[in-house]
Amino acid sequence: MGLEEKAGNLGFVTTTLENVVNWSRTRAMWPLLSGLACCAIEMMAAQSAHYDMSRFGMELMRASPRQSDLLIVAGRVTNKMAPVLRRLYDQMPAPKWVLSMGDCASNGGVFNNYAIIQGVDEVLPVDVYVAGCPPRPEALIHGILVLYDKVQQEGITEWA
Amino acid sequence: MPIHYDVTSVTLDEIKNLVSDRAITGETMLLNMGPQHPSTHGVLRLLLELDGETIITCIPDIGFLHTGIEKSMEGKTYQQAEVLTDRMDYLNTVGNNLAYCLAVEKLVELDVPARAQAIRVILAELQRIASHLIWLATQALDLAAQSVFLYCFRERELILDIFELVSGQRMMTTFIRPGGLWRDVPEEFETAVRDFLGHFPKRIEMYEGLLTKNPLFVDRTKGIAVVSGEEAVRWGMTGPSLRGSGVDYDLRKVNPYSGYEQYDFDVPLGENGDVFSRYIIRIQEMRESIHIIQQAMDKLPSGPVRSENRKFVPPPRSELGTSMEALIHHFKLWTEGFDAPEGSVYVPVSSPRGELGCLLESDGGPKPYRAHWRTPSYANLQALPMMAEGHLVADLVAIIGSIDIVLGDIDR
Amino acid sequence: MGNNLQKAAEIIQEKYNGEINSFRDQITLLLSKDSIVEVCQILRDDFSFGVLVDETVVDYWRRKEPRFQIVYQLHSRQHDERIFLRTPVSDDDPFTSSVVSIYPNANWYEREIWDLFGIRFEGHPDLRRILLPKGYQGHPLRKDVPIKVEETRFTFNNDELARGKPLAKE
């Protein structure tokens, strides 16, 4: 016995504001069009017709950080690129999320030398890690769906 | 602490002998392009000096993907180091493996069975098609032809499916090993490749139908960045970028490796040396690759795919249970690796971008003392300032696309 | 060994006191670093070695004296021949002459060598770091620089390693 029962026939849906906001965030998340290395090719494959990431609200990738919500770190992060990546992240408007794609971005992968940062989490707060070298497009899409689950559970005040 | 480098700023002082005097007085504009830019094909950074919209100077700044692969290879045995070669030029992974394995084979004088050589050629040519497809997709996308991108990636999936079939991995196959292949190809390989060969030529027609006579595409590519043959040779350009200028030089012809001399194919040559010629050449090269694969499939010999030289090549797994000797060889190879004789070798192969060379120097131990890669994109990109001079900024993306750079190949 | 290459190697050996080595059909000439520019000039003009394919360094730290050897690789398109030149460079104040005036594409190769090995090139027009960031200290491809820089992270040493990385803590 509540509002839902009474208003059911009238075509109303009741939910919390938090749910609506989080739902809309996950249904139109625009990733930043930024590829670093090998994984960028698989990211492009995920975007193309065969895997079609636009099924999950990622219709377009924006080349400008000002217009994007999700930074997919696709590839190894070098010492020279890390400040650039950090600046890109800082330029993105909140709410924003980071997905670390592939082994190199997550933990350095097969490289442990003077040039490669051992995981992009040294410079950025990462939400989801996707394993693989490179991950298949399906794996990337799975990672994005995991991120959506995470976004669904966020509080509305977290980004305020 | 890596983050403290301030890499984004370049002072005018540093580049004052590279730009014209007018830049110092502020008459012309200095503009930064990249490393985060959708049409620099990765993390290339360019400093442009512009007079209005015309490029006066273009100063590439590379190294945003410098991975230190040459250093890392020094710490691994010859078998382990091969894994790193995949990650270098990530659109030509099989070709990198091939160059590396040929270098190791030359260093230790290892024989390769005929079947392995033929399969290597098939895979390398499939990889060449896949690489050219990515190039076509991105070049067309840069010139605002979105649909070509979708079609090219559709066909590329078919090639990646073949790679996955033989090696279990889509991109980083490491299927070619010193002394042959990792294992024989499965039965379905032949039908998969034949299927692909059956309908891919029609798809090339389709791409050509979308672009070759498309006035929007032709206007933006014809007469742009004309490079004469002498200039191209002088700057050390190789591959389609060189052949687009009409210079007949293909390593598969002049210096055949892995049995390329058995196959009959043409080396397409461009006439004008502009962006359009380089486009036509790559399209033609895809057709020639189809010819090569067809011939290689038709006379694919049977037999072993790995050398019988147990000092360098591990024995088949089935022998481990019955032969003590095989077990010892296997154990030695996977724990210590093999010792290579002292000396240095250089092996060039024809990658989709040009001459990819591997220089291996051995000190007699199981690890390469020095591994150096002569990468085609590095040499081709060096000619970019010469090519871009005097063109509009909008044409720069077409020029960058036309030399088909891969940043992993440049920075290593 | 082709005729052209044979002749070139003999002349250079005689004139500049070079040392010819042959390994797996590759001809390498060991020269002193003072003569490299002249030799390149002769090879380009008289023997049609018109392309500098590659230029790199091998570091023989504690193995050989002098410590570095610069490897030049020249290619002749007419004869399809390759010749390797090696010039030793010593460890204290490593420098050599630049061949940019003869082969323009030596520019980036020499910048890369300066960047990764710290060998200066006299007469180079623009000797800046090319691959590594501007403020980087040292030359990492030298043999006295360790290959691995960081311990692998596990649960037991995670906190310890993370202490040095304050940036992603937000």
Q: What is the pLDDT of residue C165?
A: 65
Instruction: Compute the distance between CA of residue B356 and CA of residue B384 in angstroms, rounded to an integer.
Output: 19
Q: What is the pLDDT of residue B1?
A: 38
What is the pLDDT confidence band of residue A8, given thresholds at 50, 70 and 90? low
Q: A44 vs B407: CB contact, 8 Å cut-off? A: no
Which residue in chain B is spatially nearest to A40 when comparing CA positions? B42
Instruction: Compute the distance between CA of residue A98 and CA of residue A72 in angstroms, rounded to an integer.
Output: 6
Is the confidence at residue B126, as pLDDT, over 90? Answer: yes
Cβ atoms < 10 Å from Cβ of A154 = 15
Which residue in chain B is spatially nearest to C166 when comparing CA positions? B1
Mean pLDDT over A124-151 rounds to 91
State the best of B66, B237, B363 to mutate against chain C, taking most chain C CBs within 10 Å. Answer: B66
User: Which residues 106-125 of chain C have a CB within 8 Å of chain B?
Assistant: 107-108, 125
Is the confidence at residue A25, as pLDDT, over 60? Answer: yes
The radius of gyration computed from the CA coordinates of chain A, to the nearest angstrom, equals 18
Instruction: With beta carbons under 8 A apart, name residues in chain B contacting A115.
Output: 66-68, 71
Mean pLDDT over B196-200 rounds to 90
ipTM of the complex: 0.88
The radius of gyration computed from the CA coordinates of chain C, to the nearest angstrom, equals 20
Is some CB atom of chain B closer than 8 A to the CB atom of A103? no
Q: Given a contact as 3+ CB pairs under 8 Å, which chains touch B?
A: A, C
* Nearest CB to C168 within list A79, A80, A123: A123
Both structure tokens of A5: 């029962």
Q: What is the pLDDT of residue A26?
A: 87
State the best of B370, B380, B384, B411 to mutate against chain C, taking most chain C CBs within 10 Å. Answer: B370
> Is B190 in contact with B184 (CB distance < 8 Å)?
no
Is the confidence at residue B234, as pLDDT, over 90? Answer: no
The whole-number mean pLDDT for each consecutive block of 10 residues of chain C, a chain of 170 residues, reads: 78 80 86 87 86 90 88 88 89 88 90 91 87 85 84 75 63
Which residue in chain B is spatially nearest to A35 when comparing CA positions? B42
Each residue of A60-103: pLDDT tens digit? 788 888 989 899 998 888 888 888 888 888 888 888 999 999 89
Assign B274 to helix, strand or coil. coil
Instruction: With beta carbons under 8 A apart, name residues in chain B contacting C53.
Output: 236, 348, 355, 357, 374
Which residue in chain B is spatially nearest to A43 when comparing CA positions? B153
Q: What is the pLDDT of residue B116?
A: 92
What is the pLDDT confidence band of residue B3, given thresholds at 50, 70 and 90? very low
Instruction: Compute the distance between CA of residue C56 and CA of residue C50 in angstroms, rounded to an integer.
Output: 18
The DSSP-derived string for C98-125 is --TTT-TTHHHHHHHHHHHH--EEET-S
Is some CB atom of chain B closer than 8 A to the CB atom of C5? no
Instruction: Compute the distance between CA of residue A37 and CA of residue B65 in angstroms, rounded to an integer.
Output: 7
Handedness of CA B387, B389, B391, B397 (dihedral sign): positive
Instruction: Compute the distance between CA of residue B197 and CA of residue B288 in angstroms, rounded to an integer.
Output: 12
Residue C127 phi, psi dihedral angles, 5° rounding: -90, 85
User: Mean pLDDT across chain A, nearest whole number?
Assistant: 86
